[in-house]
Amino acid sequence: MLATPKGNTKWNRRLIAVAMACALAACSGDPAPADSAVGTAPGGQSAAAGQDTAASDAVATLSADELRAAASKAYQESRLYAPAGDNALEYYLALRDKDPGDAGASSALIDLLPMAVIATEQARDRDDFEEARRLQVLIQRTDGTHPAVGRLASSIDSAQAASEQRIAQQALSAEQEAERRKQLEAERAKQQQEQQAQAARELAAQQDAGREAEQQAQREAAARETAERQAEERRAADQRAAEERAAQQRAAAAAAPAFVAPSAADLRAISTPAPRYPSEALRSGQSGEVLVEFTVAADGSVSNARVVRADPPRVFDREALTAVRRWRFEPMDAPITTRRTIGFTPGG
């Protein structure tokens, strides 16, 4: 009976599969395969783990600034979680270990975690358990309390056990296993490239949307600033135009000859018909006088005639106003308001 490491259930399953493959080979007359197609022996796993550990150690030796630059470059080149030892997720994990307060590393790890979970499930579903476990370890390092950590570990164990059982049942040859692994590697590389390119496009679209919003805000602010500047320029232009008009008016006023308003002495009568004597006052022999104020327009016509004082009152008022409104004077430069006393004497 084969001796197995105590408690190593997975290794037991591998040895059982090897024994079955050897038995099948013996029955068919073919020599037993030198290396079972069931999976990698513990020594092989140690070698792969040693390579990963060496890559991790190399990453850990980088400074915080070097890790930040390497993570940013890997992020931009869509190396989000692969290849092992040279991807943004591992660089950011190492950066967080060196500088736990780095907000950029924490934010990037939050963004990368869902993608790593999906990649792990896809690696598991294509029986790429080595890659699935590598990614599962990275997820656990990123957030040990994430709900997917335990689920992924259990599902990978179950999927690998089922795969090993299928391999044992089918007794795959070493050549078939090598071809399968080659196909797995090619599929892994292709799928990872497509996944990371798609994730990079989505992240770029988010960043472009943020930049577009910022640029739109800047354009709106610039438009407001331009409108305010144009309004201020218009106000300044209006102010200058008003000042220029006022200066022109002052200059014109200074250049024009001084205007001398006409006085009553300047009035030259053309026609001043006498008023009609009221018949009742004439029969009674009543006399009197009326002081009339009126305005002589620039063309010499009379307007705005009114009685200022009459003696006796209301006897000669109407006839005095009627007569004054028919008066005419020589034209003048400007209107003038004056007063005249009109006397009424019987037989005068």
DSSP H or E stretch at residue 45 = helix 42-60
Distance, in Å, from the CA atom of 318 to the CA atom of 328, rounded to the nearest integer, reads: 19
Q: Flag whether pLDDT at 274 surpasses 70.
A: yes
61's CB contacts (< 8 A; 6+ apart) are none
Q: pLDDT by residue (tens digit) across 26-67?
A: 434 443 333 433 334 333 344 445 555 656 778 889 999 999
Please state the rounded mean pLDDT for residues 322-347: 95
Q: How far is CA 130 from CA 95, 101, 134, 248, 261, in A?
A: 25, 32, 6, 94, 114
Q: Encoding tokens for residue 308?
A: 């200022």
CA 11 to chain centre: 59
Distance, in Å, from the CA atom of 93 to the CA atom of 67, rounded to the nearest integer, reads: 9
Helix and strand numbers (H, E) in the chain are 10, 5
Average pLDDT over all residues of the chain: 84
**pLDDT score at 28:** 41
**pLDDT score at 177:** 87
**pLDDT score at 53:** 63
Q: How confident is the model at residue 258 (pLDDT cuts 50, 70, 90)?
A: low
Task: List domains and CATH numbers for the chain.
Answer: 9-213 (no CATH), 267-344 (3.30.2420.10)
Distance, in Å, from the CA atom of 161 to the CA atom of 155, rounded to the nearest integer, reads: 10
Instruction: Using a pLDDT cut of 70, give the percent of the chain over it.
Output: 81
**pLDDT score at 9:** 40
Please state the rounded mean pLDDT for residues 102-126: 97
CB atoms within 10 A of CB 244: 10
Please state the rounded mean pLDDT for residues 101-113: 96
Q: Flag whether pLDDT at 229 surpasses 60.
A: yes
Through-space distance between the first and last CA atoms of the chain, rounded to whole angstroms: 172
Please identify which residue in the block is written with the tokens 């679209």: 205
Output b/e per residue, 245-266; b: 16+ Cβ within 10 A: eeeeeeeeeeeeeeeeeeeeeb
**pLDDT score at 60:** 83
- pLDDT: which is higher, 290 or 2: 290
CB atoms within 10 A of CB 21: 22
Q: pLDDT by residue (tens digit) across 143-195?
A: 999 999 999 999 999 999 999 999 899 877 788 888 999 999 999 999 999 99
Q: Flag whether pLDDT at 125 surpasses 80.
A: yes
Q: How far is CA 76 from CA 71, 93, 197, 200, 203, in A?
A: 9, 17, 10, 7, 10
> Dihedral sign, CA of 185, 188, 189, 191?
positive
| Residue 100: burial class (beta carbons within 10 Å; 0-12, 13-18, 19+) | exposed
